[in-house]
């Protein structure tokens, strides 16, 4: 059963909501939630320079409050789980900083409700605290038990958990949110609510040009791994006769070599209207298997997907395999991207 967060619980409240800033996915999936909550409540946004990009476009009328940025960068050498291990002191410091800052914000702005998308420090006994995540159960190649116990310990600081997924066999995230028999199950925490897939693109009306592009490549996520994949794809498609569109989730990398090396249209951080039109006007989508992107694809009815999981990111590797088995997506590992030239668009 999908729990309607929009018509229950919160009316005439002051709500502070803030997403994690590891890429844009956490911010984009919060947009539809924020718009609904804003109807009957006063909403304040917690932003960093990255998430501000999305909120300035989508929610220009809402007050923004700056939060510390996690500044986690991926590595071209170490897998994500190892890089995160190195970053534990930095992450712990940010969690403590945001928790201290939240106490001041609650007092200053008379905040009644705090909603955190994967920011572990944004909870308080002085406000009703909600945590948004699709990862109740983490995937990791090592120390998975320890990781899940730490994850659960943080999550249980919140009064309620909202899972942007469907409960049961219609799940989009599989074992990440559904493992009731997991040793770290949340069966003793009754306030886990499944709120359904979320996308800022769902209700936008656009004109579709059917199969205008053979491939739409969606490139987002933290650096340097985003640019690394872009460079690999440029080299892969440089002699291709395919019609290609590229969406880059950044404006910080300047002019790329796509236009000169490949017959390709490049869009840097397009508006939501242009992005939806590009998705629906393309035959196949090439993208990372990030969960927010997969929710967009599900709600827009796009089934022709080629997923390239971020190397060493266990969550994306699991989601790619799950979507292949359940929804028929194709998987190409980053080290095997040259196989793209042998695929039929």
Number of domains in the chain: 2
For residues 319 and 232, membership in a common domain is answered with: yes
Mean pLDDT of the chain: 87
For residues 67 and 182, membership in a common domain is answered with: yes
For residues 180 and 244, membership in a common domain is answered with: no
Domain assignment of residue 8, yes or no: no
**Residue where a domain stops, chosen among 136, 162, 194:** 194
For residues 273 and 143, membership in a common domain is answered with: no
For residues 118 and 175, membership in a common domain is answered with: yes
For residues 160 and 223, membership in a common domain is answered with: no
Say if residues 153 and 108 touch (Cβ distance below 8 Å): no
The pLDDT of residue 258 is 61
Domain assignment of residue 204, yes or no: no
Mean pLDDT of 48-66: 95
Domain assignment of residue 9, yes or no: no
What's the pLDDT tens digit per position in 183-226? 667 765 668 889 999 999 998 999 999 999 999 999 877 777 78
Domain assignment of residue 54, yes or no: yes
Domain assignment of residue 203, yes or no: no
Domain assignment of residue 207, yes or no: no
What's the pLDDT tens digit per position in 311-325? 888 999 999 999 999
**Residue where a domain stops, chosen among 150, 165, 194:** 194
For residues 145 and 221, membership in a common domain is answered with: no
The pLDDT of residue 335 is 85
For residues 151 and 297, membership in a common domain is answered with: no
CATH of the domain at 289: 3.40.50.2000
For residues 155 and 241, membership in a common domain is answered with: no
Domain assignment of residue 205, yes or no: no
For residues 278 and 318, membership in a common domain is answered with: yes
CATH of the domain at 121: 3.40.50
For residues 190 and 296, membership in a common domain is answered with: no
**Residue where a domain stops, chosen among 194, 222, 255:** 194
For residues 172 and 100, membership in a common domain is answered with: yes
Residue 114 has pLDDT above 60, yes or no: yes
Domain assignment of residue 3, yes or no: no
The CA–CA distances, whole Å, from 169 to 174, 177, 323 equal 8, 11, 13
Range of the domain at 124: 14-194
What's the pLDDT tens digit per position in 146-192? 888 889 999 999 999 999 999 989 999 999 998 665 666 776 566 88
pTM summary value: 0.90
Contacts of 148 (CB under 8 A, 6+ apart): 137, 138, 182, 183, 184
Residue 80 has pLDDT above 80, yes or no: no
């Amino acid at each position: 059963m999908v729990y309607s967060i929009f018509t229950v619980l919160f009316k005439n409240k002051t709500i502070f909501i803030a997403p994690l800033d590891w890429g844009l996915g956490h911010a984009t999936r919060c947009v539809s939630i924020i718009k609904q909550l804003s109807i009957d409540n006063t909403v304040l946004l917690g932003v960093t320079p990255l998430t501000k990009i999305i909120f300035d476009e989508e929610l220009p009328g809402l007050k923004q409050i700056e939060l510390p940025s996690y500044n986690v960068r991926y590595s071209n050498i170490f897998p994500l789980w190892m890089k995160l291990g190195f970053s534990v002191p930095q992450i712990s410091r940010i969690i403590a900083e945001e928790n201290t800052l939240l106490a001041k914000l609650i007092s200053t702005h008379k905040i009644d409700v705090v909603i955190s998308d994967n920011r572990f420090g944004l909870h308080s006994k002085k406000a009703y605290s909600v945590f948004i995540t699709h990862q109740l159960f983490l995937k990791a190649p090592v120390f998975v038990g320890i990781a899940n116990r730490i994850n659960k310990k943080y999550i249980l600081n919140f009064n309620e958990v909202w899972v942007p997924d469907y409960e049961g066999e219609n799940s989009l995230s599989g074992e990440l949110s559904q493992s009731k028999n997991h040793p770290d199950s949340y069966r003793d925490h009754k306030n886990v609510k499944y709120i359904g897939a979320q996308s800022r693109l769902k209700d936008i009306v656009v004109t579709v040009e059917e199969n205008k592009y053979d491939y739409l490549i969606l490139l987002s996520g933290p650096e340097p791994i985003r640019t690394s994949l872009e460079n690999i794809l440029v080299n892969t498609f440089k002699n291709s006769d395919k019609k290609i569109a590229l969406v880059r989730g950044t404006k910080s990398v300047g002019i790329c070599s796509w236009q000169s090396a490949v017959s390709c249209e490049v869009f840097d951080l397009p508006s939501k209207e242009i992005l939806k039109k590009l998705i629906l006007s393309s035959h196949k989508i090439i993208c990372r298997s990030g969960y927010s992107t997969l929710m967009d694809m599900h709600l827009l009815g796009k089934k022709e997907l080629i997923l390239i999981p971020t190397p060493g990111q266990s969550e994306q590797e699991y989601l790619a395999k799950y979507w292949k088995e359940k929804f028929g997506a194709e998987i190409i590992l980053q080290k095997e991207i040259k196989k793209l030239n042998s695929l039929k668009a």
